[in-house]
Amino acid sequence: MTKLAMLCCLKSNRRCTGAACLSTLNDRTRSFAPYEGQEVTLTAFARCNGCEAGIDEGFQEKLDRLVEEGTQVVHLGKCTDRKDTGPCPVIAQAADYLAAKGIRIVHGTH
């Protein structure tokens, strides 16, 4: 069984339901295709704390909780890598932290 989490952009989640991310996970398509035929547990569907916050105390708690839950893989939402601005520096820093804790990082959801 794979323990998986998704990390998304707070600003994007003001208008996004997360339905496309969850649908592709459930259908095992796009970036979730490698899990076809496998049992997957979603440990978290988390958002950052906003661009201005950076990795503040609250966001750090979220990241530490992913580690505590035994999360093995974190998929970074499509919303964290925008065509106009590129990868979010806050999410990139969070991904580096999680990778250093042994969590595999996958760029993309749907």
Cα separation of 58 and 53, whole Å?
9
Residues 103 and 69 sit within 8 Å (Cβ to Cβ): no
pTM recorded for the entire structure:
0.94
Q: Domains in the chain, please, with CATH?
A: 2-107 (3.40.50)
- Distance from C-alpha of 82 to C-alpha of 3, rounded to nearest angstrom: 26
What number is the average pLDDT over the span 40-61?
A: 93
pLDDT at 105 over 90: yes
Question: pLDDT class for 53, splitting at 50, 70, 90?
Answer: confident
Confidence (pLDDT) at 85: 86
Q: What is the pLDDT at residue 47?
A: 95
Which one has a higher pLDDT value, 51 or 73? 73
